[in-house]
Structure 1
Amino acid sequence: MSHTAHIPSHRKPRRSATKVALRAGVAGGVLSTLAVAAAAGTANAAEPVTETIEMPTLTADLSAQIAHSADVTQQAAVSYESRAEQDAAASKAAKQAKEDQAQAEKKAEAKRKAEAAAKKKAEQERASRSAERTNLSTQSTGGGSSASSSDSVAPASGSVGSVISFLKSQLGDAYVMGASGPNAWDCSSLVQAAFKQAGVDLPRVSQDQSTMGTEVGTSNLQVGDILYWGGKGSAYHVGVYIGNGQYLDAANPSKGVVIQDLSGYPASGAVRVL
């Protein structure tokens, strides 16, 4: 008898086929469950991408539409830019027009003031000449008076007074046809020289002198008016009215430069240059 016969075997008992099959079935079911769960998890993770977007095919018609849309957009941009430029130009033109209007109004106002000042000055000068003529007429003496009778009237440059003063200073000078002073005169040269003292340039001959200035009636004479004898434009003699119905002229070779009464030799007409 073997000395090991009573020692129990150390081998584990074999499992029965039924138990092994059962365990295998359970394990397979668990694995199947896990596989299904994994598949479900993967499917759930992909759920956000649920639709495929199909891009349109770029056909010739679609290309034309895109090009047309681009042209329209460009034209709109050009139109907006042009309108902006027009608005800016209109604004600038309006501003310039406003400035021009203000400048024109300023110039018009300055012109009105200048005209008013000139009118006032002319009125003052007319009043001064009228007063001067009245004064000269009052102080004038009769025919044959000497130059000393004019000493009380101080010559005034550019006025009737300077004309009358010059004329009276020539009293007694000779009359010589064609002479022009300083000690001999004819009628028109004496008148021309007298008015030159007042800054008035008269023609040399009596015919032309009778057409100068403004025609006045012989019944409305003022001191300094030029008297003429004969027709206007064809006068043969001239003199200057000095007031009180008298005039001064270079009469003729026998009288020379004298003061005479109009009543003895009425003038045909008269002109006023001052």
Structure 2
Amino acid sequence: MSHTAHIPSHRKPRRSASKIALRAGVAGGVLSTLAVAAAAGTANAAEPVTETIEMPTLTTDLSAQIAQSADATQQAADTYESRAEQDAAATKAAKQAKEDQAQAEKKAEAKRKAEAAAKKKADEERASRSTERTNLSTQTTSAGSSDSAPAPASGSVGSVISFLKAQLGDAYVMGASGPNAWDCSSLVQAAFKQAGVDLPRVSQDQSTMGTEVGTSNLQVGDILYWGGKGSAFHVGVYIGNGQYLDAANPGKGVVIQDLSGYPASGAVRVL
């Protein structure tokens, strides 16, 4: 036995080969991990990371429900807007109708007043003409059938009769219009012009003027016509007492005649 055997050796014990290999493997693995991490870090630093979020896919039923809901909302909005427009239009129409009614009532009142005034004036004129005709008829009856006794002029009808009687004895010439020759319609036209009444030139048109009256209800100043209304071929003027004055024909000229000898077809009243 060696004399140093009882002294512990100062040398470190040898490691086994297996432990050394294990430690080398671990160290290598750590270095490899660090290398990979460094490479990854470099790559991450070079390229930005983009994250993609995948949205959920809408199903057909859900899409249809959303579309229907949107349509319903739009329809409701359209309905409210339409109602608002209708209400505004109705309010405006009611206001306009009220204004129109007030205006119409105002016009109607003015029209009623004007008609009442016109009726009053017409009644007064009618009464005056009736009195005038009565006086003329009386004067004509007193004068008889004498062509040389003209009735005195009095008012519009009187001016017509006075003018007609002033032309007694003038010639009848077709198409003539005075002052010394006439045809039937030109004489009537000129006579009524004295009263401010403008008559058409020909007998056909004169027979359609004024108001139609029966030949059994004649008044002084009525226009007599022979033939159809609107197609008359002759005209004269009633002067009362069953007589009329006219431009008869080339053989007679302007004369006074009895209706009993040549009854008229009709009569019109313009005064």
Displacement, 1:232? 2.6
* 1:53 to 1:175, Cα distance in 2 relative to 1, 3 A: closer
| SS in structure 2 of the partner of residue 110 of structure 1 | helix
Displacement, 1:264? 1.9
2:209 touches 2:268 (CA, 8 Å); kept in 1? yes
| SS in structure 1 of the partner of residue 144 of structure 2 | helix
* 1:81 to 1:240, Cα distance in 2 relative to 1, 3 A: closer
Displacement, 1:167? 0.8
1:158 touches 1:199 (CA, 8 Å); kept in 2? no
1:187 touches 1:249 (CA, 8 Å); kept in 2? yes
1:87-116 CA distances to partner (integer Å, 9 max, x unpaired)?
Answer: 999999999987776655444333322221
- Corresponding pairs, count: 270
* 1:103 to 1:188, Cα distance in 2 relative to 1, 3 A: closer
| Worse overlay, 199-208 or 95-104 | 95-104
Distance 1:230 1:5 in 2: 185
Distance 2:263 2:63 in 1: 111
Distance 1:260 1:78 in 2: 87
| SS in structure 2 of the partner of residue 123 of structure 1 | helix
1:240 touches 1:248 (CA, 8 Å); kept in 2? yes
Distance 1:256 1:150 in 2: 16
Displacement, 1:36? 67
Distance 1:224 1:23 in 2: 156
Which residue of structure 2 lines up, in the alignment, with residue 264 of structure 1? 261
Show structure 1 runs of 5+ residues with no match: none
1:87-236 mapped onto 2 (5 Å cutoff): 104-141=104-141, 159-236=156-233
Distance 2:45 2:112 in 1: 96
Displacement, 1:133? 1.2
1:202 touches 1:209 (CA, 8 Å); kept in 2? yes
1:147 touches 1:171 (CA, 8 Å); kept in 2? no
TM-score (norm 2): 0.58
2:244 touches 2:256 (CA, 8 Å); kept in 1? yes
1:4-30 CA distances to partner (integer Å, 9 max, x unpaired)?
Answer: 999999999999999999999999999
How well do the aligned residues superpose, as a CA RMSD in angstroms? 11.4
Displacement, 1:35? 67
Displacement, 1:67? 25
* 1:2 to 1:64, Cα distance in 2 relative to 1, 3 A: closer
* 1:45 to 1:138, Cα distance in 2 relative to 1, 3 A: farther
TM-score (norm 1): 0.57
* 1:19 to 1:62, Cα distance in 2 relative to 1, 3 A: closer
1:217 touches 1:270 (CA, 8 Å); kept in 2? yes
1:214-238 CA distances to partner (integer Å, 9 max, x unpaired)?
Answer: 2222111111111112233332221
Moved over 3 A (4+): 1-108, 146-158
| Worse overlay, 53-62 or 167-176 | 53-62
1:157 touches 1:198 (CA, 8 Å); kept in 2? no
2:164 touches 2:187 (CA, 8 Å); kept in 1? yes
Displacement, 1:239? 0.6
User: Identity rate of aligned residues, in percent?
Assistant: 94
1:245 touches 1:262 (CA, 8 Å); kept in 2? yes
* 1:7 to 1:147, Cα distance in 2 relative to 1, 3 A: farther
Distance 1:74 1:113 in 2: 58
Which residue of structure 1 lines up, in the alignment, with residue 58 of structure 2? 58
Distance 2:209 2:232 in 1: 12
| Worse overlay, 1-10 or 97-106 | 1-10
Displacement, 1:242? 0.6
Distance 1:197 1:66 in 2: 92
1:230 touches 1:236 (CA, 8 Å); kept in 2? yes
* 1:193 to 1:84, Cα distance in 2 relative to 1, 3 A: closer
Show structure 2 runs of 5+ residues with no match: none
1:147 touches 1:168 (CA, 8 Å); kept in 2? no
1:250 touches 1:256 (CA, 8 Å); kept in 2? yes
1:53-83 CA distances to partner (integer Å, 9 max, x unpaired)?
Answer: 9999999999999999999999999999999
| SS in structure 2 of the partner of residue 159 of structure 1 | helix
* 1:176 to 1:45, Cα distance in 2 relative to 1, 3 A: closer
